[in-house]
Structure formats: structure tokens, C-alpha cells
Amino acid sequence: MTDHHSDIDSVSGKSTTGHEWDGIKELNTPLPRWWVISFYLTIIWSIGYWIVYPAWPLIQSNTTGMFGYSSRADVAVELANLEKIRGDKMAALGAASLADIEKDPALLALARAKGKTVFGDNCAPCHGSGAAGAKGYPNLNDDDWLWGGTLDQIMQTIQFGARSGHAKTHEGQMLAFGKDGVLKSDEIVTVANYVRSLAGLSTRNGFDAAKGEKIFAENCVACHGDGGKGNQEMGAPNLTDKIWLYGSDEAALIETISQGRAGVMPAWEGRLDPATIKAMAVYVHSLGGGK
């Protein structure tokens, strides 16, 4: 090989690499030195990386690195730190009464923010992401509450649930008057129409209102109260208002009366810490339906 420093291309005046193909020579145009140095530095750096950090996949596991670093452990530490940072704020939330939280703008903002995220994680599957509910799952934005809409009542429902199996849960269910043979089908149709009349809705032509009232008085008043105003102690809905959990048309009412209803709300005590449950109660109350 020719010493390329002395081999100068006569046209360009530059030195060549000395490599020749069919009389064509390659000009020696090296990469800038700073570039080459940076390239070697990155190689050296990567070796350090292999040693210090988890890097090489093995058959069953991977190399763990010198300091036992893992990003998962980092996340755990970060989360713990976050809890610590938020600790006194959440403690303040836990210490304050529900009414005080609503009065204090800072605590209210914290409770609403916390409540919103926890709601999204835990409640949204049934009640919807905006708490608008669905058939059988109450809309928490409105002012109709099966078990009461005050701050304390909402918190109690979240804590213990409804028909959840918890010792302090709300109990009470709509019986299956048709399935259990208590009422005959024509009686069910009659009482369904009677209930619609209570809510000011249209009724089937020629339905016997007196008979409906009688059936209602014998079977339904115990829970739904005189005139169907409902009873929050038993979770019995108000049948005279404009809000219907399972629908207000005749077919829906017939189904409800025949088959009964017993929606379940899980108890969140034990799954969420008390401060979080408090935040949730405030959040749900602030959706607008709270009393």
C-alpha cells in the first residue's frame, strides 16, 4: 500500500487513501476528529452502561447491574415520596368534617380532584365517567337519591354500599311480585298503570284506578309509602317524580314489579382509605345533586 500522505490526487490536490480500483483512487476525507472522538466516547459510555445498569438479557432473567437499579423500584420510591408529599394534605382532608371540606376552597378543590380520579378508577364502570349513570345505575348528577343525598348519607352509601354483604350495608329490595306468585299478571298491569298515574304519566285506556290503588295499598305502600313518595331508609324510590332508574314505560314497570329489583353497590370501606372515601363523598355531592 502506498503511504497515503504522499499520494496526492493531481486534480483535487488532496491526499488519497491509496486504494485503487480500475485506476480510480479514493480521496482521503477522514471524519472530523471531534466526531470520531465522540463516537468512541459513546462506545466507552455504553460499556459503562452494561456494567452499571440492567442490560443483558439472559435465558431466564437479565443482568441486574452493579447497583441493583431497576426502574420499577424507582417508580415505587417515587410513589412512596408522592404519598409522603401529599400526606399532610390528605391528613387534613381526613381530619376535617365533610361540611368543613365543602366550606374550605382549598380542601374542596383537593377533595374534588382526588374524588374525580378515584371515581374514574372505581366508580366509572357502573356510574359512567361523568357519573351520569345508566339503566339500573343511578345518575349521581341529579337530585333523586335512593339512600339519601346529604353529604353524610352519600358517604355512608360509599362506605358500606347497598346490598353489599357488609354488616352496615343498606338493605331493602324490590320484591318479585309476579315471579313469586303474589300478584297475577292482570293485577301487575293494573298496578303498573296506577304507578304511572302517580307520576302524572299517561295510562292504558280503561284501566281500573280503584283496583290499582287497592293493590298498591296492600303490596307497595309498606316500602314506597303513601302516594308512592318513596322511603330512603329502605332505598325505595319516589314513584311520583320524573326520574326512573329502570325506566317508566309500562313494559319496564311490569318487568320491575314481576321480577323485582336488587341492584348492588359495593362497600368501599377497606378498599379505599377513609380520607379518600371522604373526598369521594364530597366529589359526588359537588356533582350537583347533593342536598
Residues of the shown chain interacting with other proteins in the complex, contacts defined by CB under 8 A = 6-10, 13-16, 25, 102-103, 105, 108-109, 112, 128-130, 132, 139, 141-144, 238, 241-243, 286-289
Do the beta carbons of residue 162 and residue 242 sit within 8 Å? no
Taking the complex as a whole, the smallest distance from the CB of residue 34 to other proteins amounts, in Å, to 11
Closest residue by Cα to residue 252 from 199, 210, 206, 205: 199
> 34: which strand partners?
none
Do the beta carbons of residue 167 and residue 269 sit within 8 Å? no
Closest residue by Cα to residue 283 from 182, 125, 122, 154: 154
| 42 versus 129: smaller Cβ distance to other proteins | 129
Residue 137: phi and psi, rounded to 5, are: -120, 115
Q: Is 234 annotated as a binding residue?
A: no
| 277 versus 287: smaller Cβ distance to other proteins | 287
CA distance 184 to 38: 89
> 243: which strand partners?
none
Radius of gyration of the chain measured on its C-alpha atoms: 36
Residue 21: phi and psi, rounded to 5, are: -130, 120
| 23 versus 206: smaller Cβ distance to other proteins | 23
| 14 versus 168: smaller Cβ distance to other proteins | 14
CA distance 74 to 256: 53
Q: Is 166 annotated as a binding residue?
A: no
| 139 versus 164: smaller Cβ distance to other proteins | 139
Taking the complex as a whole, the smallest distance from the CB of residue 89 to other proteins amounts, in Å, to 17
CA distance 14 to 25: 11
Q: Is 265 annotated as a binding residue?
A: yes
Taking the complex as a whole, the smallest distance from the CB of residue 20 to other proteins amounts, in Å, to 11
Q: If you count them, how many residues does the chain have?
A: 291
| 207 versus 244: smaller Cβ distance to other proteins | 244
Taking the complex as a whole, the smallest distance from the CB of residue 6 to other proteins amounts, in Å, to 5
CA distance 228 to 97: 34
Taking the complex as a whole, the smallest distance from the CB of residue 171 to other proteins amounts, in Å, to 24
Closest residue by Cα to residue 3 from 11, 21, 20, 15: 15
| 232 versus 258: smaller Cβ distance to other proteins | 232
Q: Is 90 annotated as a binding residue?
A: no
Place of cell 292504558: 204
Taking the complex as a whole, the smallest distance from the CB of residue 132 to other proteins amounts, in Å, to 4
- The three three-digit cell numbers of residue 179, written as one number: 315471579
Question: What's at 38, amino acid-wise?
Answer: S
Taking the complex as a whole, the smallest distance from the CB of residue 9 to other proteins amounts, in Å, to 6
> 20: which strand partners?
25
Binding site per annotation, positions for heme c: 123, 126-127, 174, 220, 223-224, 265
